[in-house]
Amino acid sequence: AQTVTQSQPEMSVQEAETVTLSCTYDTSESNYYLFWYKQPPSRQMILVIRQEAYKQQNATENRFSVNFQKAAKSFSLKISDSQLGDTAMYFCAFMKQWGAQKLVFGQGTRLTINP
Amino acid sequence: DAGVIQSPRHEVTEMGQEVTLRCKPISGHDYLFWYRQTMMRGLELLIYFNNNVPIDDSGMPEDRFSAKMPNASFSTLKIQPSEPRDSAVYFCASGLRNTGELFFGEGSRLTVL
């Protein structure tokens, strides 16, 4: 079974700073996807970024980038030039590449961006 | 497509009442998932369907919970009788095999008094 661990329950930074959220996972699979989801107070689950495990290049989406270390089973999210709208819960999640599109989530990190 | 549609958005009910949550997945998707989110347990998978057939219901907490998918465009999650500890946000999500994408509805917030 796969497990996902987020060791930072809460984080807080000032607007415009850079923040990194940590995530580790455990799996015996070779091919899989990793995700970061954002959940603002509206509770909508918003996909921030996705990484395919077979790709060595780290995924980026505008101000969001990941540091994917497959051997270490680590998948951190970096938010550059943080904005007030980035305040949310952030979930790291794992999905096997083949078969059911089942997501396994970490416990989440509550990120607060202060003005 | 309108995305995954869930109803109701909010439900407040009394202990012992039956609760039915509804979900319309994205057309063409062959997987449907029900997740529950609570402060204590985070996001946990309750059950999922493939081509309308329940594949894994090991996450369903107890017999009071049941889920059905009578056709490709509709699923229900029923709690009977409801208890205060069932209070949570229930998410429905749908996806297509091997695409690596899962789409979530806006969730149904259930409060059982």
Q: How confident is the model at residue A108 (pLDDT cuts 50, 70, 90)?
A: very high
**CA–CA separation, B60 vs B45, rounded Å?**
8
pLDDT (average), residues B28-56: 94
Residues of chain A contacting B5 with CB distance shorter than 8 Å: none
pLDDT (average), residues B38-48: 93
Residues of chain B contacting A33 with CB distance shorter than 8 Å: 100
Query: A68 near A75, Cβ under 8 Å?
Result: yes
Residue of A33, A99, A102 with shortest CB distance to B33: A102
Best probe of the B interface among A23, A45, A95, by most B CBs < 10 A, is: A45
Calculate the alpha carbon distances from A81 to A77, A84, B20, B37 in Å. Answer: 13, 10, 43, 30
Q: Is B42 on the interface with A (CB under 8 A)?
A: yes
**pLDDT of amino acid A97:** 84
The residues facing A64 across adjacent strands are: A61, A79
* Three-state SS annotation for B62-85: CCCEEEEEEECCEEEEEECCCCHH
Put simply, the answer to whether A102 touches B43 (Cβ < 8 Å) is no
Residues of chain B contacting A42 with CB distance shorter than 8 Å: 106
Query: B77 near B53, Cβ under 8 Å?
Result: no
**CA–CA separation, B68 vs B44, rounded Å?**
18
**CA–CA separation, B113 vs B106, rounded Å?**
22
**pLDDT of amino acid B1:** 62
- The answer, yes or no, to whether residue A110 has pLDDT greater than 80, is yes
Put simply, the answer to whether A103 touches B45 (Cβ < 8 Å) is yes
Put simply, the answer to whether A50 touches B42 (Cβ < 8 Å) is no
Put simply, the answer to whether B48 touches A102 (Cβ < 8 Å) is yes
Q: What is residue A9's DSSP assignment?
A: S
Helix (H, G, I), strand (E, B) or coil at A76: strand
Put simply, the answer to whether A101 touches B31 (Cβ < 8 Å) is yes
* Tens of pLDDT, residues B54-108: 999 999 988 999 999 999 999 999 999 999 999 999 999 999 888 888 899 999 9
Residues of chain B contacting A103 with CB distance shorter than 8 Å: 33, 45, 93, 102
Q: CB atoms < 10 A from the CB of A16, how many? A: 11
pLDDT (average), residues A25-51: 93
C-alpha gyration radius of chain B? 13
Q: How close B77 gets to chain A, by Cα (Å)?
A: 18
Mean pLDDT over the full length of chain B: 94
